[in-house]
Amino acid sequence: AEDARALAEQYRELELERLPQLDHMRIRLRGSGPRLGVELVRTTPELRTHLGAPEDHGVLVGKVLPGSAAEKAGIKVGDVLTTVDGAEVSSAGGILEALADKSGQGVDIELVRDGKGMKVRADLPKLEEDEATGPRAYHVPVPRVPAI
């Protein structure tokens, strides 16, 4: 769990230094801990506010993987995840950190859907002993769509 926390901290430092240079990025969250099963889209304070979420934190769900803990909990594309187990999240790194030591446990997730706050509980899968536990948060640039 300490390795996962250290990885999450390194990710946050990288995110602060490098990632703001990239305008649009999709983040596929497959952390070193239990998997929630979502792909996330980086947001701006303005987008979060428009979606009804707090301006200073929240991560937009771009895809929910079939059969995942997120799907079973009722998380949907377009939801803005704001807290995971009581910790405010504003990046994939924040979610990785919140899930780092939760293998086989349930986590409470607060989210905003259609401008309304709600809570769900996701039961995370237990990591198997032989399952790879190395870093698995991938950044896949999404082509920028020209403004109309």
74-114 pLDDT, tens digit each: 999 999 999 999 999 998 888 888 888 888 999 999 999 99
Answer yes or no: is pLDDT of 58 > 50.
Answer: yes
Q: What is the pLDDT of residue 23?
A: 36
Stretch 122-133: mean pLDDT, rounded? 71
3-class state of residue 120 by DSSP = strand
d(CA 136, CA 125): 16
Answer yes or no: is pLDDT of 40 > 50.
Answer: yes
- Quick one: which of 146, 2, 14, 6 has its CA closest to 91? 14
Q: Which residue has the higher pLDDT, 139 or 12?
A: 12
Q: What is the pLDDT of residue 43?
A: 87
Contacts of 96 (CB under 8 A, 6+ apart): 4, 7, 8, 11, 29, 31, 32, 33, 137
Residue 17 pLDDT class (50, 70, 90 cuts): low
Stretch 58-83: mean pLDDT, rounded? 94
